[in-house]
């Protein structure tokens, strides 16, 4: 009988995070000050982040120790299982072997607390009293509310209005853990007020919500800002997923040929795949394929130019070198709310630009079709975000059926869809709309890129 679940002991939770910056062929382009255009230093970031996270952001050390207090909370749900999707394989009649790492077992239901716990810990150690943040689908907001609750911090969440209305129970979950949640744009900040004046019917965007959260942190001495994706230290913390996955593959003497993960800002894909991509960069596994999966309604990696841009709509953040659709871009309110960010993590974007990682985009109807096939074979109802890499996995497995290749396929199963049943209902009742690549909207937004 084939083993369907590969488990690690609690003492095998990684003791160090992996920093892919140590293995990049060339260093990242510098982060630039939005006013001067010059590279920023730690002092520029100090109003927003605790110093330990700033050090991690710029570090090129390969291994960063995980604090004992963080590992102790990780033990609530980590290590997470690696599954062999035997029932899906059988349904597809594929010779390929399909594996997925299941992060939906965390209390907030996704991979997000892997960094939320670490960020709350470092803020607590520095004496911060409150953290402000943004959230798209609500997974990040839930994770930070959970983490700040455990460390005794207050938490303010600006939730993209489209998701706030689509996913009310995510808000309730954040409230249960003590966080205050506002639909973004809101009347709580000058940024929100201005955007609502210009467009009272706006559905919001992650760029707008980031602007509000940053303004909140910058105008309150007891508050720091926390980001759930994009930044280097977030990618770093998420590698706990990929490091566990490597151990689990070693236990069964396997190694993936191709890896898939959904991408909004990049933390899920990077966390699961970077420890393997590191093997590719150092020549240990040069043939490895790693593919980032995104929606056609917000095709950052597949359509966005690689250039400097702001991380938020109000242009409060430093300038990051990344694939971007323009900081003004407001995507359609698709149900994969966590994949609606105009940019992506600079580390991920650099690797895509240099062809170390691939990228593909899907419409939401085909994505939900794949999610249903997965639910009806493996039993797990995945988040709409995760469904993008389920679609890629099924396509790859069918391709193997045609070629006869017995590839080992992996995908990062980043979270459950229990708060997304309205989206599944829309799909099942034929009401889900596919949004074409918004070429005109993106062209307008790209016209406002910062002049370098």
Which whole number is the average pLDDT over 124-138?
95
Residues 36-61 pLDDT 10s: 889 998 999 999 999 999 999 999 99
The sign of the dihedral angle between the CA atoms of 32, 37, 43, 44 is negative
Band the pLDDT of 206: cuts 50, 70, 90: confident
Residue 167 near residue 259, CB atoms below 8 Å? no
- Per-residue pLDDT, 1: 53
Q: Which domain holds residue 299?
A: 5-9+68-109+231-446
Q: Is residue 329 part of a domain?
A: yes
User: Count of alpha carbons within 13 Å of 382, Cβ hemisphere only?
Assistant: 32
Residue 378 near residue 83, CB atoms below 8 Å? yes
Residue 246 pLDDT greater than 60, yes or no: yes
Residue 151 pLDDT greater than 80, yes or no: yes
- What letter would DSSP give residue 45? H
Angle at 17 between CA 13 and CA 21, to 5 degrees: 155
> Looking only at Cα atoms, what is the longest distance across the chain?
63
In angstroms, the CA 216 to CA 184 distance is 13
Residue 234 pLDDT greater than 60, yes or no: yes
The sign of the dihedral angle between the CA atoms of 261, 285, 301, 362 is negative
- Per-residue pLDDT, 185: 96
Residue 111 pLDDT greater than 60, yes or no: yes
- Per-residue pLDDT, 228: 93
Residue 3 pLDDT greater than 80, yes or no: no
Overall number of domains in the chain: 1
- Per-residue pLDDT, 336: 66
Residue 221 near residue 51, CB atoms below 8 Å? no
Closest CA to 363 of 410, 427, 307: 427
Q: Is residue 183 part of a domain?
A: no
In angstroms, the CA 44 to CA 41 distance is 6
Share of the chain above pLDDT 70, in %: 99
Residues forming beta bridges with residue 80, ordered by sequence position? none
Q: Is residue 58 part of a domain?
A: no
H-run or E-run covering 252: none
- CA dist 67 → 14, 17, 347, 375 (Å): 11, 10, 24, 36
Q: Is residue 411 part of a domain?
A: yes
Residue 272 pLDDT greater than 70, yes or no: yes
User: Count of alpha carbons within 13 Å of 215, Cβ hemisphere only?
Assistant: 22
Quick one: how far is CA 428 from the chain centroid?
26
Closest CA to 82 of 70, 66, 97: 97
In this structure, what token pair is assigned to residue 40?
């920023």
SS3 154: strand
In angstroms, the CA 22 to CA 26 distance is 10
Residue 353 pLDDT greater than 90, yes or no: yes
Residue 255 pLDDT greater than 90, yes or no: yes
- Per-residue pLDDT, 337: 67
- Per-residue pLDDT, 293: 98
Considering only 96-110, 141-155, 205-219, 362-376, which range has the smallest mean pLDDT?
A: 205-219
In angstroms, the CA 9 to CA 87 distance is 26
Residue 275 near residue 245, CB atoms below 8 Å? yes
> How far is the first Cα of the chain from the last one, in angstroms, to the nearest whole number?
60
Residue 81 near residue 102, CB atoms below 8 Å? yes
Q: Is residue 131 part of a domain?
A: no
- Per-residue pLDDT, 276: 98
- What letter would DSSP give residue 287? T
Considering only 116-130, 205-219, 237-251, 254-268, which range has the smallest mean pLDDT?
A: 205-219
- Per-residue pLDDT, 166: 85
The reported pTM is 0.95
Considering only 21-25, 203-207, 256-260, which range has the smallest mean pLDDT?
A: 203-207
CATH of the domain at 360: 3.40.50.1100
- Per-residue pLDDT, 451: 85
- Per-residue pLDDT, 205: 87
Q: Is residue 297 part of a domain?
A: yes
Band the pLDDT of 227: cuts 50, 70, 90: very high
Higher-pLDDT residue of 143 and 317 is 143
Considering only 67-81, 84-98, 260-274, 303-317, which range has the smallest mean pLDDT?
A: 303-317
Which whole number is the average pLDDT over 60-82?
98
In this structure, what token pair is assigned to residue 339?
């994949």
Q: Is 28 exposed, middle or buried (0-12, 13-18, 19+ CB in 10 A)?
A: middle
Higher-pLDDT residue of 160 and 166 is 160
- Per-residue pLDDT, 312: 86
Q: Is residue 126 part of a domain?
A: no
Residue 79 near residue 8, CB atoms below 8 Å? yes
In this structure, what token pair is assigned to residue 209?
């919500």
Among all chains, which residue has been given the structure tokens 């009310």? 168
Residue 326 near residue 442, CB atoms below 8 Å? yes
pLDDT, the chain, mean:
95
Which whole number is the average pLDDT over 302-315?
92
Residues 356-399 pLDDT 10s: 999 999 999 999 999 999 999 999 999 999 999 999 999 999 99
- Per-residue pLDDT, 137: 81
Q: Is residue 217 part of a domain?
A: no
């Amino acid at each position: 009988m084939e083993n369907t679940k590969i488990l690690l002991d609690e003492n095998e939770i990684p003791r160090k995070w992996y920093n892919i910056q140590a293995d990049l062929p060339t260093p990242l382009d510098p982060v630039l000050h939005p006013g001067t255009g010059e590279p920023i230093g730690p002092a520029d970031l100090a109003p927003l982040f605790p110093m330990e996270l700033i050090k991690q952001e710029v570090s090129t050390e390969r291994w960063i120790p995980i604090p004992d207090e963080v590992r102790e909370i990780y033990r609530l749900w980590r290590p997470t299982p690696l599954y062999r999707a035997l029932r899906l394989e059988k349904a597809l009649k594929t010779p390929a072997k399909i594996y997925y790492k299941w992060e939906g077992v965390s209390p907030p239901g996704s991979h997000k607390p892997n960094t939320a716990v670490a960020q709350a810990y470092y803020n607590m150690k520095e004496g911060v009293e409150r953290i402000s943040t943004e959230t798209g689908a609500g997974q990040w907001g839930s994770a930070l509310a959970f983490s700040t609750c455990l460390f005794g911090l207050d938490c303010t969440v600006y939730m993209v209005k489209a998701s706030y209305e689509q996913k009310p129970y995510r808000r309730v979950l954040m409230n249960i853990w003590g966080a205050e949640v506002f639909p973004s744009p809101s009347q709580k900040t000058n940024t929100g007020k201005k955007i609502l004046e210009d467009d009272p019917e706006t559905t919001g965007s992650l760029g707008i919500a980031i602007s509000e959260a940053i303004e909140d942190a910058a105008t309150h001495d007891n508050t720091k800002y926390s980001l759930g994706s994009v930044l280097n230290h977030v990618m770093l913390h998420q590698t706990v997923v990929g490091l566990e996955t490597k151990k689990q593959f070693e236990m069964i003497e396997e190694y993936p040929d191709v890896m898939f993960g959904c991408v909004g800002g990049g933390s899920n894909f990077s966390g699961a795949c970077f420890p393997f991509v590191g093997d590719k960069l150092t020549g240990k596994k040069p043939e490895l394929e790693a593919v980032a999966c995104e929606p056609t309604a917000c095709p950052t990696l597949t359509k966005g130019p690689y250039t400097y841009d702001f991380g938020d709509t109000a242009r409060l953040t430093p300038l990051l070198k990344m694939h971007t659709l323009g900081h003004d871009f407001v995507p359609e309110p698709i149900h994969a709310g966590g994949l609606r960010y105009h940019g992506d993590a600079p580390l991920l974007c650099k690797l895509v630009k240099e062809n170390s990682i691939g990228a593909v985009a899907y419409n939401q109807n085909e994505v939900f079709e794949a999610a249903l096939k997965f639910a009806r074979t493996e039993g797990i109802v995945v988040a709409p975000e995760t469904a993008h890499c389920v679609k890629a996995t099924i396509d790859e497995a069918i391709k193997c059926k045609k070629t006869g290749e017995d590839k080992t396929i992996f995908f990062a199963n980043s979270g459950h869809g229990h708060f997304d049943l309205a989206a599944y209902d829309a799909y099942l009742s034929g009401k889900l709309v596919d949004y074409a690549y918004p070429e005109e909207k993106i062209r307008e937004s790209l016209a406002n890129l910062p002049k370098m």
